[in-house]
């Protein structure tokens, strides 16, 4: 099967690349990965790198989109249209909205919405545009397989609503507004864009995030500190999920 693994930032996909090419040293810089990879092929399209690898009979296409909904939509579209992927897995970090989520915890999106999409001036709900939907559900089979992985590892995998927008949220008032308006559990900047693209193409997708911060006053401080460790937690889980597909 042809499977995409996407992240937004290079830190989010580095642990996947170093796992898929064991000749690479863990925690390598991108330039080192590109210079030394032996089992991964590089493609560059529209300013983004796409890494092609083989894993247990699958052809895997790994990419980081860069931050935000526009870059995420571009990358997901290229993965589907050009690389013909049949499933898309997203790995990365998120800010916690639900108080039960702590740094390093995993959350799988059951559904995703765009918290910054606003044509309420025309009487529509937040997050809605005509011919669109406020919430897009991720693939139930991939979520089921992910719960099997969680059980085997003896960890809890929460499922919930992920809200996406082109803003890094570091403000308790904004966080509370997003929680109330969308019943959101976590917040990030790409998931719903990927969901819109996959839904339009009818490609099953799974969005996994490990918590890096609490989307409050300390968020940017926490983010810098926990980006790498939380990215690795999410990436390790995604590799285990790949084993089940
Ligand atoms: N990704 C990780 N933390 C985030 C936050 N606080 N806001 C938006 N995206 C994030």
ipTM: 0.99
Query: Which member of 12, 139, 190, 222 is catalytic?
Result: 12
**Best probe residue, ligand 1, of 168, 194, 207, 231 (max atoms within 8 Å of C-beta):** 168
Query: Which member of 14, 190, 213, 216 is catalytic?
Result: 213
Over residues 172-223, the pLDDT tens digits come to 999 999 999 999 999 999 999 999 999 999 999 999 999 999 999 888 888 9
Q: What is the pLDDT of residue 219?
A: 84
Please give the helix or strand (H or E) that residue 51 lies within, else none.
Answer: strand 48-55
Specify the residue with its C-alpha closest to ligand 1, atom 6: 215
Q: Residue 130 CB: number of other CB atoms within 10 A?
A: 7
% of the chain residues with pLDDT over 90: 94
- The answer to whether residue 213 is catalytic is yes
Domain range list for the chain:
2-242
Average pLDDT of the chain is: 96
The pTM for the full model equals: 0.97
Least Cα distance to 188 among 73, 67, 107, 95 occurs for 95
- The answer to whether residue 12 is catalytic is yes
Q: Which CATH architecture has domain 2-242?
A: 3-Layer(aba) Sandwich (3.40)
Please give the helix or strand (H or E) that residue 195 lies within, else none.
Answer: helix 191-201
């Amino acid at each position: 099967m042809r499977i995409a693994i996407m992240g937004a930032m290079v830190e989010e996909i580095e642990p996947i690349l170093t796992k898929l090419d064991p000749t690479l040293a863990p925690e390598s810089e991108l330039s080192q990965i590109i210079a030394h990879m032996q089992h991964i092929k590089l493609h560059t399209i529209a300013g983004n790198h796409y890494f092609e690898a083989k894993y247990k009979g699958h052809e895997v296409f790994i990419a980081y989109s860069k931050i935000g909904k526009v870059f995420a939509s571009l990358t997901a579209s290229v993965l589907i249209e050009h690389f013909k992927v049949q499933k898309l897995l997203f790995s990365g970090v998120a800010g916690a909205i639900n108080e039960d989520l702590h740094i390093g915890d995993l959350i799988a999106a059951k559904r995703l919405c765009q918290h910054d999409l606003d044509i309420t001036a025309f009487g529509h709900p937040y997050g809605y545009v005509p011919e669109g939907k406020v919430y897009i559900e991720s693939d139930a089979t991939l979520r089921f397989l992910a719960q099997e992985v969680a059980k085997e590892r003896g960890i809890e995998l929460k499922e919930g609503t992920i809200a996406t927008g082109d803003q890094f949220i570091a403000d308790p008032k904004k966080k509370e507004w997003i929680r109330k308006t969308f019943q959101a559990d976590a917040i990030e900047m790409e998931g719903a864009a990927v969901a819109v693209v996959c839904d339009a193409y009818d490609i099953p997708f799974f969005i996994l995030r490990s918590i890096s911060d609490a989307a409050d006053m300390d968020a940017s401080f926490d983010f810098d500190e926990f980006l790498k460790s939380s990215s690795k937690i999410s990436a390790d889980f995604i590799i285990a999920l790949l084993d089940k597909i």
